[in-house]
Structure 1
Amino acid sequence: METVELDGLRIAYQRVGQGPPLVLFHGVGEDSRIWRPQLEGLSDDFTVFAWDAPGCGASDDPVPDFSAEELGAVTAGFLRAAVPEKPHLLGLSWGSMVALELFRGYPGLPASLVLASAYAGWAGSLPPEEVERRYAQVLAEIDQPPETFVAEWLPSLFTDKADPAVVAEVSGIMADVRPAGMRALLSASGRADYRPVLPTIDIPTLLLYGADDQRSPLNVAHELHRQIPGSRLSVIPDVGHLAHMEAPDAFNTEVRNFLHGIAAG
């Protein structure tokens, strides 16, 4: 792991490969280890950066009342400090909100966006009652031992056809979640609504979803596709929310083809 310090907040990240920079933003309850198949599979064509978000992995915990604007500022600071060129950004699930918050405040920083299993924020993509259910669920789980709730999350992240070894790998990563990190990220993003940002996105954007995603279903994907000008939607069959883990070869191929298409463009 490498680190950068941003106003006293240490951010850890992995960096592998050579080529144009591709920065990966993981979901809530995860850290950079969730990107193992991409760190291995895309580093032949790209310099792949995978951060541990504030409050996750080896990164420091931010303040409990962390705001969306502070998250965007930390993300921009990380890109400026760690990434030498204008990067492509890949945000997964909650990481898609990181990418959208970054674009909202700093639209000149990214070269392109890949939004995987994405939302326009929970409040921007889900019915109000579902937003409140999810918010209350995470709030109730924050101070519980992870072994009491991680197993309950897994069926919503994978299909029943997923490799048990991969499910176990993800379970082990999520078991390391920290209460302070969850509290801060819920504060920053739990009721986020990025619908106003979507029509302003003027860089190449790929929307990448699993066909059987329970947490961010295809109606969410189609609405983002409708709202983001010129976006491309790709759906990987027979996989769920963590499509990058359940079907890494197909996921990596979609990302690689999209980014090569930009370069050739």
Structure 2
Amino acid sequence: MEFVEADGVRIAYERVGKGPPLVFVHGAAEDSRIWQPQVVELSDEFTVVAWDEPGSGRSSDLPQSFGLAGIADRLAILIETLELGPAHVAGQSWGGTVALELYRRHPGLVATLIMIDTYAGWKGSLPAAEIRARVADTRQKLTSPPGDFDPTFSGLFAGDPPPEFVPLLAAIAADVRPATLGFQLDIMVEADLCDLLPHISVPALLVWGQFDARSPLSVARQFEGAIPDSTLVVVEGAGHLSSLERPGAVNNAVREFCRAHPPSHMK
């Protein structure tokens, strides 16, 4: 891991490979390790960077003054500091919401958007009843005694987690900070970026698990209908964490898309 300082926040990141920059933004209750299959497979052709969001992994704690904008601004600082922009920016689940806010605030840093099983915020993508159920479930997790705290959400996979990634998932879960998860929950409940979607002027790849129970295909169709230049790839047999459940299919889709849409400074 390497580190940068972003306005008093220490951000950890992994950087591997050479070529067009490809930045991965992880979901809630995760860190950069969730992108292991992508880092390994795509670094043969791209400069792959996966960050630990503030409050996750080896990054410093998330300042309480931050909102979604503050997180996106720190991602912008990372991209600028590493001189990656404009970059392909890929976000999964909550990370896709962060990537959308990055584009809203710093469009010049984004060559393309790659949205993987994500949301335009929960408020922007889910029915109110579903949001209430998720809030209740997460609040219950957060009020559990420390020894019983389990940040794992239901519905992440279409079937059982791939056996080769079970130790990785356990290691990531063990490092989740309850304060960060609670803060992300507060943001996600109120986030609604639907108004941004029609104004996205860069190519967008939408990668969705066929059986995603957390961000169903109806959300993908919402994105596809709203974003002017968008391509939807449905990953057969995958759930919400399609990048782990079917990494080969996801990696192939990302590779082909990035090849077809090189950043302007690399054309």
TM-score class, shorter: over 0.9
How many aligned residue pairs are there?
263
What are the ranges of 5 or more consecutive residues in structure 1 without an aligned counterpart?
Answer: none
Could you tell me how far 1:64 is from its partner in structure 2?
A: 2.8
In structure 1, what is the equivalent of residue 91 of structure 2? 91
What are the ranges of 5 or more consecutive residues in structure 2 without an aligned counterpart?
Answer: none
- Any conservation in 1 of the 2:85–2:111 contact (CA below 8 Å)? no
Equivalent runs, 1:53-92 vs 2, <5 Å: 53-92=53-92
In structure 1, what is the equivalent of residue 150 of structure 2? 149
Runs (4+) of structure 1 exceeding 6 A deviation are none
**Residues 62-104 of structure 1: CA distance to partner in whole angstroms, max 9, x if unpaired?**
2235212212222211211124331110000000000011111
Q: State the SS of the aligned residue for 2:168.
A: helix
CA distance in structure 2 between the aligned counterparts of 1:102 and 1:70, rounded to whole angstroms:
10
CA distance in structure 2 between the aligned counterparts of 1:52 and 1:197, rounded to whole angstroms:
25
Question: For residues 119 and 9 of structure 1, do their structure 2 counterparts lie closer, same or farther at Cα, with a shift above 3 Å needed?
Answer: same
Q: State the SS of the aligned residue for 1:137.
A: helix
- Any conservation in 1 of the 2:150–2:173 contact (CA below 8 Å)? no
CA distance in structure 2 between the aligned counterparts of 1:214 and 1:65, rounded to whole angstroms:
32
- Any conservation in 2 of the 1:66–1:188 contact (CA below 8 Å)? no
In structure 2, what is the equivalent of residue 107 of structure 1? 107
CA distance in structure 2 between the aligned counterparts of 1:218 and 1:187, rounded to whole angstroms:
24
TM-score by length of 1: 0.93
- Any conservation in 1 of the 2:142–2:149 contact (CA below 8 Å)? no
- Any conservation in 2 of the 1:147–1:175 contact (CA below 8 Å)? no
Larger displacement relative to structure 2 (61-70 or 108-117): 61-70
Equivalent runs, 1:102-181 vs 2, <5 Å: 102-144=102-144, 145=146, 148-150=149-151, 153=153, 155-181=154-180
TM-score by length of 2: 0.92
CA distance in structure 1 between the aligned counterparts of 2:56 and 2:143, rounded to whole angstroms:
15
CA distance in structure 2 between the aligned counterparts of 1:147 and 1:24, rounded to whole angstroms:
30
**Residues 141-176 of structure 1: CA distance to partner in whole angstroms, max 9, x if unpaired?**
23533754345x2x5111225422324422331221
Question: For residues 94 and 146 of structure 1, do their structure 2 counterparts lie closer, same or farther at Cα, with a shift above 3 Å needed?
Answer: farther
Percent identity, aligned pairs only, is 44
Could you tell me how far 1:262 is from its partner in structure 2?
A: 1.1
CA RMSD between the two structures: 1.8
**Residues 21-64 of structure 1: CA distance to partner in whole angstroms, max 9, x if unpaired?**
10000000000000100010000010000000010000111223
